[in-house]
Copies of this chain bind each other. A is one copy, B any other.
């Protein structure tokens, strides 16, 4: 027996595991210093009262014979699928409840989605981007080609008809760069997919951070997207569910290949690989999409966007080139010339006690950049802003 050799084509550690290790190492050596963790995009606000109340009620139900529930539908509970359908409606998108599949988070579905398609496919993945798109395809023996996201294209690559790919990954608002497509730009991707017979996997995990009224929140605001695009979303950032685990994936019935519906095959796959999301978590998610819940979580995302303003304000004052932070909780800043992103990560950790995430961890195209997350508490963001201003005093901006 042998292991899957493609493991040895991956970086040895998953990016965020690597960063966590580096930070722990620093903390052991400097027990007196407080590290400001602006690295992994983890929320810090507690879950809102509506969500916690629903979860506690659901927990009580599980202890009573009259209300106990065992296995739940593989695809998720009807009550939650209906809530999400209405959430899409509020964005002007028409998605039916039986096109929505509840997951334990976007990552699990992103991992499994390539299995729906022919092995050996070519995946077009933006560079830089959330590492799971490429890593899942590498481990499944697929080919990965990259669409360069650069300063020149505003970190928003557009279709290139010279490139042939079966799966097209789009993440908007983007992790890590914070760049967000407009519906008009996404429409070009939809047309490209339709013309080339490709399928788009659209990661909308950060849609609730769109603030400019112009950027897209769902690919289903594009004509024809229902025939070529799967949308993956998560409550992790929208509702603070990073530790609770709930997401959803939309697989439209109109998305067909050779007359077979992707919706039907995805149900077959999910029923083979998954036994549904915890009941208490599905009730918590339903509460997050209630009127009261939506108001509470909007307040929380607003809080994080205020942090983004504080951090980007400091960078602006220091003259540091950066992107994002406007429709996204992430700020993507440029490292001083000649410093690679892992080097700058260490420099900022040692020099200012701030942990970011090295851009190169998101792909070769991320080299020379660092991601800061605004999911901290306000005090941490304020202190980080101050430390950044001090740090740049001794690190000449002329180096950019």
Contacts and interface: CB of A to CB of B under 8 A. Distances in A.
A121 interface: yes
Interface stretch (A65-73, A174-182, A217-225, A364-372): A65-73
B1 A271 contact: no
Interface in A1-23: 1-5, 7, 10, 12-14, 16-17
B257 A2 contact: yes
Contacts of A40: 71
A45 B71 contact: no
Contact of A71 (B51, B117, B243): B243
Number of copies: 2
A56 B117 CA distance: 41
B62 A45 contact: no
Interface residues of A, number: 86
A244 interface: yes
A258 interface: yes
Interface stretch (A104-112, A149-157, A328-336): A104-112
Looking at A68, A70, A166, A279, which has the most chain B CB atoms within 10 Å of its CB?
A: A70
Contact of A272 (B44, B46, B111, B268): B111
A243 B279 contact: yes
Contact of A42 (B1, B47, B70, B119): B70
A309 interface: no
A91 interface: no
A268 B135 CA distance: 11
Interface stretch (A81-89, A136-144, A338-346, A392-400): A136-144
Contacts of A167: 1
Given A268-B10, A272-B136, A62 B44 contact: no
A276 interface: yes
B119 A271 contact: no
B42 A62 contact: no
Interface of A: 1-5, 7, 10, 12-14, 16-17, 40, 42-49, 51-52, 55-56, 59-60, 62-65, 67-72, 74, 104-105, 107-108, 111-112, 115-119, 121, 131-132, 135-136, 139-141, 166-167, 197-199, 236, 240, 242-245, 257-258, 260, 262, 265, 268-269, 271-281
24 contacts: A3-B260, A7-B265, A10-B272, A13-B271, A16-B271, A40-B71, A42-B71, A44-B70, A46-B63, A46-B64, A46-B65, A46-B68, A47-B63, A49-B63, A55-B59, A59-B280, A70-B242, A72-B243, A104-B245, A108-B274, A119-B119, A139-B272, A242-B275, A281-B281
